[in-house]
């Protein structure tokens, strides 16, 4: 098996774990996750406005920033810089 296949299985397992975690949350936790995701989207818009980089605003990057907060914004910024 090549590394692409292993990476695909790993990402698939992470998605399954995330879906299981999401379904185990109560309604209050889901609303908090949605609020944090919206705040993450606003942070990404601000980051894209004040930097010369083309930072993508998609659900995955907003969710990353929403869950991780400021380190998530730094992570998205670093990924955009190096890719």
Structure tokens at 39: 């705040």
Distance CA 42, CA 39 (A): 5
Distance CA 17, CA 27 (A): 19
**pLDDT tens-digit profile of 34-70?**
788 788 888 888 888 888 878 888 888 888 887 888 8
Residue in 11, 75, 16 with CA at minimum distance from that of residue 40: 75
What is the structure's pLDDT at 83? Answer: 81
Phi and psi angles of residue 32, each rounded to the nearest 5 degrees, phi first: -65, -40
């Amino acid at each position: 098996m090549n590394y692409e296949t292993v990476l695909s299985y790993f990402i698939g397992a992470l998605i399954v774990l995330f879906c299981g975690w999401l379904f185990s949350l109560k309604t209050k936790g889901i609303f908090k996750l949605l609020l944090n995701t919206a705040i993450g989207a606003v942070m990404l818009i601000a980051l894209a406005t004040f930097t010369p980089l083309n930072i993508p605003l998609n659900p995955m990057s907003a969710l990353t920033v929403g869950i991780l907060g400021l380190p998530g914004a730094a992570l998205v910024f670093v990924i955009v810089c190096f890719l």
